[in-house]
Amino acid sequence: MANEERKNWRRRLRVPISALQGEIITIKTMAEHIMEPGVRRDPETGVIYPKKIIDLVICRFNGKQIYKSHWFSGVSANPFMSFKMKAITSGLVEVEWVDDYGQSTYKKAVIMVYDKNGKKIIPMKLDKASSNKEVM
């Protein structure tokens, strides 16, 4: 039953829907993966199950990497990990799980960030108006 060939290995991600500016939010992730360490044997034939683990977990916010984690064979099967992020602007949170065979899967979620007055903060930079009063 180990290392079965199927395509529906699930990934889960939970990000709060909204947050205040400056609040620290918790991002929870869980992956369905067998995390085979490469030392177990099949009880009937004696063949070692080959090593297959998730190697690298990257979290990006609006495209910029904010958190990275390397895993080795000591992480348990169906691994759960939760980490924190500071909410500055609204945007897209994306978590990517990379296998040690190079296969990668990802999951995305959107978070809205409001300031004290209840106005949504959008990830945009506005240029300052120029001081010289040249009119076209």
Partner 1 sequence: MTLYNLIIFIFYLIFSLNVFSEEILESQLYEKPYENNELKSGKYFSREETQNMELDEFENPGMIWVERGKELFNLKVGKNNTSCSFCHKQEVNSLVGAATTYPKVYKKQLINIEQKINMCRKHNMKLEAYELESNNLLSLSSFVSYISKGMPMNVAVEGKAEKYFKKGKKMFYQRIGQMNLACTQCHDERSGSYLRAEKISQGHINGFPSYLMRWGSIASVHRRFQFCNNQARAQPLEIGHDDYNALQLYIAWRGNSLPIETPSVRR
Partner 2 sequence: MYLKKNIFTRRKVFNFISGFACVFSSKLSFAENKIGSPFRDRFQSYRQTFRIEPDPEEAKKIVRNIIKGREIREDLIYLRAPDIAENGNTVPISFSVNCSMEGEDYPKIVHILVLDNPFPEIAKFYFTPESGEASVDIRIRMRTSSNIIVIAEMSDGTVGETKSFVDVTIGACT
Positions that interact with partner 2 (CB under 8 A)? 24-25, 37, 39-41, 43, 46, 48, 61, 64-77, 79-88
4 contact choice in partner 2, partner 1, none (CB below 5 to 8 Å, kind-dependent): partner 1
Phi, psi of 13 (to 5 degrees): -145, 135
Supply the minimum distance, in Å, between the C-beta of residue 66 and partner 2: 5
Q: Which C-beta is closer to partner 2: that of 73 or that of 103?
A: 73
- The Cα 57–Cα 109 span in angstroms is 16
Q: Which C-beta is closer to partner 1: that of 34 or that of 56?
A: 34
Residue among 59, 56, 94, 60 nearest 75 (CA): 56
Torsion angle, CA of 30/31/32/35, rounded to 10 degrees?
A: -120
Rg for the chain (alpha carbons), in Å?
Answer: 21
- The Cα 67–Cα 109 span in angstroms is 16
**What is the helix (H) or strand (E) element at residue 62, kind and residue range?**
none
109 contact choice in partner 1, partner 2, none (CB below 5 to 8 Å, kind-dependent): none
Residue among 56, 79, 66 nearest 24 (CA): 66
32 contact choice in partner 2, partner 1, none (CB below 5 to 8 Å, kind-dependent): partner 1
Q: Which C-beta is closer to partner 2: that of 17 or that of 129?
A: 17
Contacting residues toward partner 1, per CB under 8 A:
1, 4, 6, 8, 10, 12, 14, 28, 30, 32, 34-35, 76-78, 80
Q: Which C-beta is closer to partner 2: that of 61 or that of 97?
A: 61
